[in-house]
Amino acid sequence: MNPPQHSAQDYRTSMQEAARAYLQRHRAEYLADSDKLFESCVHHLVVALEVPTNTAPKLVHLAWSEILDSPQPNAMQSTL
């Protein structure tokens, strides 16, 4: 029996929210290298939250885009 479609969407939404929270929490640690922040976030999703390795980069990218697209002070956006 396959799980309902909304369960998969809820999972992706939850993991994307976790990625966004990680990026916001750790951005000050990676001021000079946003690629390392991205990779660190992917690693966190895979190791700590057991997100599949092919899915984690997509979720981090979506979370990152969400942060950049949201209305925020320019200082925060330039960090990412």
Evaluate whether residue 62 is within a structural domain. yes
Q: What pLDDT digit, counting tens, does each position of 4-63 carry?
A: 677 889 999 999 999 999 999 999 998 888 999 999 999 999 999 999 999 999 999 999
Question: How far apart are the C-alpha atoms of 41 and 74, rounded to whole Å?
Answer: 22
pTM above 0.85, yes or no: no
Name residues whose C-beta falls within 8 Å of residue 53's C-beta, 6 or more positions apart in sequence. 46
Report the number of distinct structural domains present in the chain: 1
Q: Is residue 25 part of a domain?
A: yes
Average confidence (pLDDT) over 60-78: 79
**Res. 80 pLDDT band, cuts 50 70 90:** low
Is 4 among the domain residues?
Answer: no
Domain membership flag for residue 56 = yes
User: Looking at the domain assignment, is residue 2 inside a domain?
Assistant: no
pLDDT computed for residue 10 by the predictor:
95
